[in-house]
A = this chain, B = another copy of it.
Amino acid sequence: MNAFERKLLSFGAITPQEAAVLTKALRDVRTVAPGADVIREGDKPNDVNVVMSGFAFRYKDTLSGRRQIFAYLLPGDFCDLNVALLGHMDHSIGTLSPCEIAHIPRATILDLLQHPRIAHTLWMCNLVDAATLREWVLNVGQRHAEHRIAHLFCETYTRMKVVGLAPAKEFRLPIPQSALANTVGISDVHVNRSLRTLREKGLAKFHGGLVTIPDIRSLIDYAEFEPGYLHLRLRDQP
Contact = CB atoms under 8 A, between A and B. Distances in A.
Interface string A98-131: 0000000000000001101001100110111111
Contact of A133 (B116, B120, B137, B185): B137
Contact of A140 (B82, B182, B185): B185
A206 interface: no
A190 interface: no
A62 B225 CA distance: 10
The copy count of this chain in the complex is 2
A189 interface: no
Given A66-B142, A138-B68, A85 B133 contact: no
Contacts of A62: 138, 142-143, 224
A231 interface: yes
Contacts of A134: 58, 60, 70, 90-91, 133
A219 interface: no
B90 A141 contact: no
A17 interface: no
A82 B226 contact: no
A184 interface: yes
Interface in A125-160: 126-131, 133-134, 136-138, 140-143
Given A70-B137, A116-B114, A119-B119, A63 B226 contact: yes
Give the 9 A-B CB pairs with smallest separation, nearest first.
A141-B185, A68-B138, A133-B133, A90-B229, A130-B130, A66-B142, A63-B224, A140-B141, A82-B127
30 contacts: A42-B228, A62-B142, A62-B224, A63-B224, A67-B142, A68-B141, A70-B134, A82-B127, A82-B130, A82-B131, A86-B128, A91-B134, A91-B229, A113-B119, A113-B120, A114-B116, A116-B116, A119-B123, A126-B126, A129-B130, A133-B133, A133-B134, A133-B137, A136-B137, A137-B137, A140-B140, A141-B182, A141-B184, A141-B185, A142-B185
